[in-house]
Amino acid sequence: MNLNPPANVIEVQNLTCGYGETVVLQNVSFAVRPREVLFVIGRSGCGKSTLLRCLIGLLKPFQGKVLYFEKDFTAADTNQRREILKSFGVIYQSNALWSSMTLAENVSLPLEEHTSLSAADRDEIVALKLTEVGLAGSGALYPSELSGGMKKRAALARALALDPAIVFFDEPSEGLDPITSRDMDRLILQVRDILGTTMVIVSHQLSSIFRVADRVMVLDRDAKGIIAEGKPSELAAKSSDPRVREFLRQGTNAEERSDGPSVDEKTEALSH
C-alpha cells in the first residue's frame, strides 16, 4: 500500500509575471492537489487571467517556476513542453471556439493536432466528449447557433478531448443566467468526480464558489498577489482581511436567496 501523499498536480514557485515593464503578480507561490477544484477570485484587473496565461505557457514569467507533476514547465525544452501541454485543457474567457467550424470539428481539433488517431476513432471520442458535457447530437451545429451555456459546454468538451489531468477554466459562468450557471457548476463537479480532473477556475460568481470550490485563492491588484487562501466557508467566517470576509459573506447570503446580488455588486465588495 502506498502511504505517500500524492504529489501536487501543479506547483507555482515565486512566480512574477506581467506585461512589458508592468508587474501584475509578484512572487506568487501556491500548489494544487489532485482532484482539487481551486477557484481564483478577485476584482477585475487583479491578474486572474494573467496568472492563467502564465500557468498555461502563453505568457513567459519574469521570474519563478511552474511545475506540473514535479516537472518544470518553465524550463522545459520543446518536447517536454509538448508532453506537459497534453496534461491540461484550457477554456478561455471568450470560449475561443472556431466560428467557421462545427462543434464536432472544434472538439476534434486537439485530437488531430496531438494524436495519430484515425478519423473514425476521433469521431468516436468527439461523440463521447459531447455526451460528457450534455451536448450529445449537437456536433453538426456551428458556434453561432449555440446559446452561451452551450458554448461553454462545447469549450469544455474540447478541453477534455485529450483526457487531461487538469482543466483551466476562465469564467465558466460569465454571461450565463443563474440557472444555466448552476448547471455549469453541476457539470464541473461531475467532470471532477467522474473523470478525476483537477480544476483551476477563475470566477466572479460567488454562488458558484460556494457550490463548487474546495479552496479559493483571492488575488489583489495592489498586493500583486494572493491576499487570502482557504475553504470559502472558513474564509467567510475568519479571514484576517475584512475585504475578503465581506466579499465572501455576500456569497453566503446569496446562497440563501434564489437570486442574489449582481456580479457587479458582489465584486464591488472587493474594491477599496
Ligand X SMILES: Nc1ncnc2c1ncn2[C@@H]1O[C@H](COP(=O)(O)OP(=O)(O)OP(=O)(O)O)[C@@H](O)[C@H]1O
Residue 49: CB minimum distance to Mg ion, A: 3
3-state per-residue secondary structure call for 101-167: CCHHHHHHHHHHHHCCCCHHHHHHHHHHHHHHCCCCCCCCCCHHHCCHHHHHHHHHHHHCCCCCCEE
List the interface residues with ligand X, window 171-190 (CB under 6 A).
none
Encoded one letter per residue, x for contact with ligand X by CB under 6 A and - for no contact, window 11-50 reads --------x----x-----------------x-xxxxxxx
Q: Which one, 138 or 173, has the nearer CB to ligand X?
A: 173
What is the separation, in whole angstroms, between the first and last Cα of the chain? 51
* Integer-rounded Cα radius of gyration of the chain: 19
Q: Which of ligand X, Mg ion, none does 45 bind, CB closer than 5 to 8 A by kind?
A: ligand X
166-170 and 198-202 as β-strands: parallel, antiparallel, unpaired?
parallel
Task: State the nearest-atom distance from the C-beta of 77 to ligand X, in Å.
Answer: 26
Write down the least CB distance from residue 48 to Mg ion, Å: 5
How many Cα atoms are found within 13 Å in the side-chain-facing hemisphere of 145?
10
CB nearer ligand X, residue 19 or residue 98: 19
CA of 228: how far to CAs of 17, 143, 213, in Å?
A: 19, 37, 14
> What is the C-alpha separation between 192 and 200, in angstroms, rounded?
11
How far apart (Å, rounded) are the C-alpha atoms in residues 184 and 190? 10
* Minimum distance of ligand X from residue 22's CB (angstroms): 6
Binding partner at 44 among Mg ion, ligand X, none, C-beta below 5 to 8 Å by kind: ligand X
Q: From the CB of 170, what's the least distance to ligand X, in Å?
A: 7
Whichever of 45 and 196 has its CB closer to ligand X, that residue is: 45
Give the interface with Mg ion as residue ranges (CB under 5 A). Answer: 48-49
The listed partner (ligand X, Mg ion, none) that binds 47, CB under 5 to 8 Å by sort, is ligand X
Q: Return residues touching ligand X (CB under 6 A).
A: 19, 24, 42, 44-50
